[in-house]
Amino acid sequence: MEQKFIIKNKNNKYERICLLKQKDFKKSKEYNEILKQFKTGQVEIFCACRNKDIEYKYSVDGKLYPAMHNSKSLHNRNCPGYSNFKEICLSNPAFRYETEDSDIIIANLLETHRNTKMVLNSSYSSAKIYNSEESMTLSAFYKKVNWYSWYQMAYAPCQYYLKFEEFQSYVVSMFKKIKIRNKRCTLDDINKGKNDINYFYWEYKDAEYNELYDNYKVCGINRYYKAINDVVARERNFSVSAEVLFCANEKFRKTYNGLTVENAQKAGYRIIVAGILSTKPYFKALDICFLLVNKYGLFVESTYEAKFFEYIIDYIENNHSKNKHVFFRPWSFGMSLYTDNHLEDAIIDLVEEDSSIVVECFGMDTEEYNLRKEKKEQTCNYRMLSWNASKKDKFPDIPF
């Protein structure tokens, strides 16, 4: 992630955007030019992350620094100038930026396909083997890829949300920015390279049992593209052992409170199948996971969340205020607004007010859950937009 700056020329109001903090920039002709213009008072420099003017100055030894002492909280959360940016970058050891200045994510994946047997034997209950902070399961990985992509899209200058089909390819385009630890290249490079491993993220259609080979043929849509007046889907398939498919189904069922992939589809939810497959000698998945996404393609952890977040996103979309009210799901603890170690279900950054709204979807009604809910409500220093889904409340009014 690189911080961009706006160079404003005082006389003719001409302005342009520039990356001033790049490593080799100081050796360039452009650097000397800008420094000269700055010293003679011809230009002013501002961070480009907001319309609000956060001014920067050059020191005598040519170092760029913010003109105002405590301007760090004024930047966009997405900007390296933001106060907690370093934490966002580096706080999650399993899914973090490569360095502070990089826009490459390093993901530390458990070698899940090797663990399939282990999971089967432990009957899904001993999640401990998976709970290592340093590494994550395949489903945790793709969930973060989805939320990270959404975050990038939410903060991108486009005025409207991408449609489901467009968001699908947007997520896959993020493969260019994600590296698996211990591998030097990105997922995109791995997929294009000569090795026989492929990372994939498709919309799930169905699976069919193949008696002859005792495995399943999984069919999915790996690409949507626009033909004249229409969106065309390209279908692909791969085979998967009964064991791997069973594990993925069980994991889904546990996450969604007993709902099976099949029933979720029947109820109209869209499902993603993602994983790793071996291309040689034929398309065979080593490990897969299922993700439930809402109608915009955003991964959700319950059907309540699917509905509630659609309600919020629809509202923002209808108000044409995507860039003013930035809705996203935090994917790393450094992004959290809570002071204890909870992560919000979602956050809405109010860009023009330098403030945020915490979004919570309360889906259970047990004593323990309600205690945690109360604590969240008491310790939250921000406005909270919450929905008591389990009590069948109406959706709350959105406060903007």
Contact mark string toward Zn ion, 36..55, x via CB under 5 A: -----------x-x------
- What is the C-alpha to C-alpha distance for residues 210 and 206, in angstroms, rounded to an integer? 13
In terms of CB distance, is 76 or 137 closer to Zn ion? Answer: 76
For the segment 120-139, give every residue that binds Zn ion (CB under 5 A): none
Which residue spans within 211-353 are E strands per DSSP?
215-227, 230-241, 270-278, 284-293, 325-328, 346-350
**Single-letter amino acid, residue 257:** N
In terms of CB distance, is 47 or 298 closer to Zn ion? Answer: 47
In terms of CB distance, is 25 or 338 closer to Zn ion? Answer: 25
Shortest Cβ 149–Zn ion spacing (Å)? 21
Q: Which residues pair with 95 in a beta bridge?
A: 107
- What is the C-alpha to C-alpha distance for residues 138 and 368, in angstroms, rounded to an integer? 29
Shortest Cβ 4–Zn ion spacing (Å)? 8
Which residue spans within 59-164 are E strands per DSSP?
64-66, 95-97, 105-107
In terms of CB distance, is 47 or 106 closer to Zn ion? Answer: 47
E strand or H helix at 202, and its extent?
strand 197-210
In terms of CB distance, is 81 or 275 closer to Zn ion? Answer: 81
C-beta of residue 312 within 8 angstroms of C-beta of residue 359: yes
Block residue for tokens 């420094």: 35
Give the binding range for Zn ion (CB under 5 A) out of 67-75, 140-148, 248-256, 346-354.
67-75
Sole binder of Zn ion in the list 44, 75, 148, 239 (CB under 5 A): 75
CA distances from 298 to 4, 20, 41, 160, 214 (A): 28, 34, 47, 15, 34
Shortest Cβ 92–Zn ion spacing (Å)? 22
How would you classify the pairing of strands 284-293 and 325-328? unpaired
Strand order through the sheet with 105-107: 95-97, 105-107, 178-180
Shortest Cβ 178–Zn ion spacing (Å)? 24
79 binding Zn ion? (CB under 5 A): yes
81 binding Zn ion? (CB under 5 A): yes
399 token code pair: 């406060």
Shortest Cβ 334–Zn ion spacing (Å)? 16
Rounded (10°) angle between helices 164-173 and 138-155: 110
In terms of CB distance, is 17 or 228 closer to Zn ion? Answer: 17
72 token code pair: 């760090």
77 binding Zn ion? (CB under 5 A): no
Number of residues in contact with Zn ion under rule CB under 5 A: 5
- What is the C-alpha to C-alpha distance for residues 174 and 194, in angstroms, rounded to an integer? 20
In terms of CB distance, is 262 or 353 closer to Zn ion? Answer: 353
Shortest Cβ 47–Zn ion spacing (Å)? 3
Does a cis peptide bond (omega within 30 degrees of 0) precede residue 399? no
Q: Whose CA is closest to 101, among 87, 83, 84, 89?
A: 89
Give the binding range for Zn ion (CB under 5 A) out of 68-76, 144-152, 255-263, 328-336.
68-76
Backbone angles phi, psi at 180, to 5 degrees: -90, 135
Contact mark string toward Zn ion, 290..329, x via CB under 5 A: ----------------------------------------
Give the binding range for Zn ion (CB under 5 A) out of 73-81, 105-113, 253-261, 388-396.
73-81
Rounded (10°) angle between helices 112-121 and 242-255: 70
C-beta of residue 273 within 8 angstroms of C-beta of residue 281: no
Give the binding range for Zn ion (CB under 5 A) out of 76-84, 156-164, 200-208, 324-332.
76-84
Shortest Cβ 34–Zn ion spacing (Å)? 18
In terms of CB distance, is 74 or 389 closer to Zn ion? Answer: 74
In terms of CB distance, is 85 or 290 closer to Zn ion? Answer: 85
- What is the C-alpha to C-alpha distance for residues 373 and 362, in angstroms, rounded to an integer? 8
In terms of CB distance, is 75 or 270 closer to Zn ion? Answer: 75
Give the binding range for Zn ion (CB under 5 A) out of 80-88, 239-247, 249-257, 323-331.
80-88
Q: Which residues bind Zn ion (CB under 5 A)?
A: 47, 49, 75, 79, 81
